[in-house]
Amino acid sequence: MSDEAYVAELRNLFPVVEHWTYLYNGGIHPCPRPVGDAMRSFLYQWEEGGRDAWPSAYEAFSRLKEKFAELIHASASNIVITESTTAGINLAAQILSPQPGQNVVVTDLAFMSDTYPWLVSHAAAELRFVKSRDGKIYLEDLEPLIDEYTAVLTICAVTVGSGFRIDLSEVHTITSKYNVPLLVDAAQALGLIDIDVNDPLLDFLVCTAGKWLMGPTGVGFLYVGERFLNATPPAVGWLSAANRNEWDVYHCQLHQDAMRFQGGMPNLIGVVGALAGLELLEQIGRDFVERRVRDLTSYAIEGLQEIGVKIWTPRADHERAGIVFFCDPRYQDLYEKLKNARIYCGSFLCGIRIDPNFYNTFEEIDKFLSVVRSHVIRNME
């Protein structure tokens, strides 16, 4: 079957495409039908059976940890299910708990959640920003900020704005010189690019169940590397305890793995939906998704180059993933024009972002480019 025929089939799983040329994967990405179905079915089971819904949902919780782990070549025993990427970053920050005299290194291409925990909750440590150039982080700008007092380097595998994809192995050669923990935010990356937490060796990785993983909001995860696995959890609950079935309120025997960082009842509807998202991704095939998204984004970049807008996203395939961002002095106006043409994209910082997914078509990119072209021509007149 040709890619186009396969995509035509897959589009039936995404009701949103009937209403929009949907070229955005940020914020709340479109809900695939199988994810909605899984959540509806859980709700039905819960309404009809009450606690009877628990065993299968708890099984989904365990399977979800396994699936998240598989994505990053890890073991489920290193995975904490969180409510979001942000919650994962904050948990990692609490485990690391940088002290006065230490520093934390972030980049100016980070998402807010990558810098705010250090700015607000762990402000005793000095916060150092690597400044980007041309939408990229250069290692020669990063290296001088790292030293033996660095408590952690937080880095996005793919950045939210320019969409720059950093070479984690190169970053690791710098952090490993000083034995600095590496926290990778993979929210814009997983599902699209392969990350192996063993190569290079990562200490923490956070991600959402949404975006490229197609699950609902309210679920994410934190990978905790071996050297932090026996840390005292900053917050504990019944799920943290290996002896929870003893109902011993006097003694808490913490799990020996990442389960010690789980607190209370998980977001079961979200868990069931997140698992369905990962199963769908597996069914479609990550290789297909990656290839299709690369083809669509390359096509969009070529078209935008021809129009002559200022593209912020690096051009080389290995330096980008699913995001294409360009700046425009009147981007809010353009955003409205696109919306009026029923084209959904992102609009923030200096411009417009699209992140087409595997279910998008080249005709949809053409439609988008034609609105951008007439906007640019009109503004030159």
Rounded CA separation 376/211 (Å): 30
Measured from the CB atom, is 102 or 208 closer to ligand PLP?
A: 208
* Residue 101 CB, nearest approach to ligand PLP (Å): 28
The runs of H, that is alpha helices, within 101-196 are 112-116, 139-142, 168-177
Q: Which of 208, 240, 313, 357 binds ligand PLP (CB under 6 A)?
A: 208
* Residue 186 CB, nearest approach to ligand PLP (Å): 8
CA end-to-end span of the chain: 46
Measured from the CB atom, is 216 or 233 closer to ligand PLP?
A: 216
Q: Give how many residues touch ligand PLP by CB under 6 A.
A: 13
* Residue 123 CB, nearest approach to ligand PLP (Å): 20
Write out the binding residues for ligand PLP, residues 104-163 only, by CB under 6 A.
111, 113, 156, 160
Measured from the CB atom, is 127 or 252 closer to ligand PLP?
A: 127
Write out the binding residues for ligand PLP, residues 17-76 only, by CB under 6 A.
26
Q: Which residue has the tokens 């998402």?
A: 111
214 binds ligand PLP (CB under 6 A): no
Measured from the CB atom, is 86 or 102 closer to ligand PLP?
A: 86
CB 364 within 8 A of CB 23: yes
* Residue 260 CB, nearest approach to ligand PLP (Å): 22
Q: What single letter denotes the amino acid at residue 272?
A: V
Rounded CA separation 139/323 (Å): 21
CB 304 within 8 A of CB 326: yes
Measured from the CB atom, is 202 or 371 closer to ligand PLP?
A: 202
* Residue 134 CB, nearest approach to ligand PLP (Å): 19
185 binds ligand PLP (CB under 6 A): yes
Q: Cα–Cα distances in Å, from 192 out to 41, 154, 290, 325?
A: 28, 20, 5, 17
Q: Cα–Cα distances in Å, from 246 out to 52, 315, 348?
A: 22, 58, 52
Q: Which stretch binds ligand PLP (CB under 6 A): 81-89, 91-99, 196-204, 359-367?
A: 81-89
Q: Which stretch binds ligand PLP (CB under 6 A): 78-86, 123-131, 298-306, 345-353?
A: 78-86
Q: Are strands 324-327 and 343-344 parallel, antiparallel or unpaired?
A: unpaired
Q: Cα–Cα distances in Å, from 157 out to 181, 206, 224, 321, 369?
A: 15, 10, 17, 10, 28
* Residue 111 CB, nearest approach to ligand PLP (Å): 4
CB 80 within 8 A of CB 258: yes
The SS3 of residue 48 is helix
Write out the binding residues for ligand PLP, residues 222-281 only, by CB under 6 A.
none
Measured from the CB atom, is 175 or 188 closer to ligand PLP?
A: 188
Instruction: Using CB under 6 A, list all residues that contact ligand PLP.
Output: 26, 84-86, 111, 113, 156, 160, 185, 187-188, 208, 220
